[in-house]
Structure formats: C-alpha cells, structure tokens
Amino acid sequence: MAAIVFDDFSYAYDGTTKALDGIRLEVAKGSFTVVAGPSGAGKTTLCLAACGAVPHYFGGSMAGAVRVAGVDTAAGSMGDIAAHVGTVLEDYESQLVTMTVAEEVAFTLENRGMKHETIARRIGEVLAQVGLAGLEDREVGALSGGQKQRLAIAAVLATRPGILVLDEPASALDPEGAEELYALLAGLNRETGMALLVVEHDLARVLAYADQMVVLAGGRVACQGRPEDVLPAMWRQPGLAAMVPPLWQIKLGLEEKLDESFAAWRNEEEAAAELGGFIAARRRGGEKSA
C-alpha cells in the first residue's frame, strides 16, 4: 500500500478555478518525493490535500480522491489523518502556538496523550536533531526565522510520523542550514522508512536524496518520475529548464555537445569521478590515434 495516492484528484478553492487539475501521483512507502514548480502552480494546495486540510478546512469543490495510508482523506477527519501524517505548512510561524520552545514540541506529544517522561525525553532528542539543543526555555517569539522553521519541523518530527509533508521547509534557512536539514530528513527516510513529500524549488538541495520528482505547472503534473528521467524532460522544456540543478545543466549540456551519456549524478563527487575517468580515457584515446 502506498503512503499517499492522488487518484485523478482535482480541486478548486472557489468552486470554479482549478488549483489542482487531474493529479495522478503515488508516493510509495519510504519514498523521498520532491515537488517543484513555478509560483501558483498548486504545490501548497497539493500539501494541504495530502494532510486533509483540503477539503476539510477550505471547502471548495473537488473530484477524484486522495488516500493517505489507505484512508480516503475526504472520509476521515483531519485528526485521523494527522495520526499518520506530520505536516509543516508554508507559513510555519502561524504553526507555532506556544510561548516556549520545549512547550511547542510538548504540545504535539501531549495531544497524542504521551506520558510526561516520554515527552521530556523526546523534546531533548528532537531539538538536538534539528540543531536547537539548549534552547528549551527560549521564548518562541525571540527565535530567528530559521530557528522558528526548525522548531516547527521538530514539533512534527517528535511524533515520528510514518509520512511527512513539508511545504518549503528550508525557505528561511541559510544554505548550510538547508543542507543539514535535508541530510537529517534523508537519514530519517533511510533509517525509519518515513515517506516524504517535500516542496522544494531549489532541486539542487535534494538532488542527492530524491527518488521521485514531480513538477507542477498550472495545477497539472508537467513531469513526474525518477530524477534521472524528470530532469532531462525538464531540460527540454523552455519554461522548466532553468529549474534544473546546475550540476545537471552541466551534465545535460555536455551530453548534447559531446554526444555522450553520463551516469545519473547525485552530487559533485560522482560527477568529478566520472568526468575525471572520461577525460583520462579521451586522453589515452588521443595518444593512441596520434
């Protein structure tokens, strides 16, 4: 059973203009799925549909279905869905509801009826994971934007959800912070099999981890599949080529120029290794023919 299934799902906030239009998408158990696309493409709406806020909170009209852990989101309540899915919204600041950092994490756990000793232990663990250790008693209002964003993520991670939906989780983080966050998420994804649905417009940040990429445009799926298939398809579309990570722009550009094909690079090291071997082979070939 897949973690999240969009089954020909369409949705309009106002009943007429479709924010999502005929979405067919499957996020497998243990998948690291990344959603990208231009502003207004429907990425946030997709996240809201995955956690049941659409349609439960926004009303509007929908067609098709979304199933989370096998349950139809329109039939189950947001609370039922929340038992399977952890969600961090685009507007993470209004997701913070308590006065202090430790209370913020405790809030989610208290709602699950956890024991106080367990809560205290989890708070320490999860704050260390996101790099907020030692700030337990800090007032939430006194945190920086990036710290608030990490706190919102920690508060959701603390419940160890089987599925995690994150809408631009690194928007307030500096480059190192974003790198650390995605390394942490990828680690959890590998070790616990947590399925991820992440909106991230900077695909370079997730290139090393994503096993599925989805590009939305105008509420429809423009491309979808394994990164090694999606990135070349994006490269061929004028509107989407600029979203291809620089490393893959180099790869695809070189492949065109040299009429070669390289492996699906996940990071600079892999690229450097393959290109090094390629150059050495060429040089040997050149010496031989000379």
Partner 1 sequence: MRRTAPLTKLAVVLLVSLWAMLLESAAALGAVAGLLLALFAASRVPAGSYKALGGLGLFALALAAMQYALGAEAEFSLVVGLRMATMTGLFILLLATTRVQDLTAALARQLRVPYEYAFMVTASLRFIPDLLTEIKAVQEAQACRGYAGGGSVTRRLKNYLTIVQPLVLRSVARSETMAMSMELRGFGTGRAGSYGTSIALGGRDYLALAALAAGTAGVVAARFYM
Ligand X SMILES: Nc1ncnc2c1ncn2[C@@H]1O[C@H](COP(=O)(O)OP(=O)(O)OP(=O)(O)O)[C@@H](O)[C@H]1O
Cα–Cα distance for residue pair 252/23, rounded to 1 Å: 28
Residue 189 as a binder of Mg ion (CB under 5 A): the answer is no
Residue 45 as a binder of Mg ion (CB under 5 A): the answer is no
| Per-position x/- string for 237-276, each x denoting binding to Mg ion as judged by CB under 5 A, each - no binding | ----------------------------------------
Residue 87 as a binder of ligand X (CB under 6 A): the answer is no
Q: Contact, 47 vs 197, CB < 8 A? A: yes
Residue 19 as a binder of ligand X (CB under 6 A): the answer is yes
Cα–Cα distance for residue pair 81/270, rounded to 1 Å: 39
Cα–Cα distance for residue pair 36/197, rounded to 1 Å: 11
The binder of 107, among Mg ion, ligand X, partner 1, none, by C-beta within 5 to 8 A per type, is partner 1
The residue (of 78 and 233) whose beta carbon lies closer to partner 1 is 78
Instruction: Give how many residues touch ligand X by CB under 6 A.
Output: 13
The residue (of 112 and 121) whose beta carbon lies closer to partner 1 is 112
| Per-position x/- string for 118-137, each x denoting binding to partner 1 as judged by CB under 8 A, each - no binding | -x------------------
The residue (of 100 and 249) whose beta carbon lies closer to partner 1 is 100
Residue 16 as a binder of ligand X (CB under 6 A): the answer is no
Residue 44 as a binder of Mg ion (CB under 5 A): the answer is yes
Q: DSSP letters along 207-259, please? A: TTT-SEEEEEETTEEEEEE-HHHHHHHHHTSTTTGGGS-HHHHHHHHHHHHHT
Dmax (CA) of the chain? 77
Q: Determine the angle formed by the axes of helices 101-111 and 116-129, rounding to 10 degrees.
A: 130
Cα–Cα distance for residue pair 141/148, rounded to 1 Å: 9
The binder of 53, among partner 1, Mg ion, ligand X, none, by C-beta within 5 to 8 A per type, is partner 1
User: Among the residues of 64-217, which ranges form H helices?
Assistant: 78-82, 101-111, 116-129, 145-157, 175-192
Residues that bind partner 1 (CB under 8 A): 51, 53, 57, 77-80, 82-83, 87, 89, 91, 94-95, 97-99, 103, 107-116, 119, 141, 155-156, 159
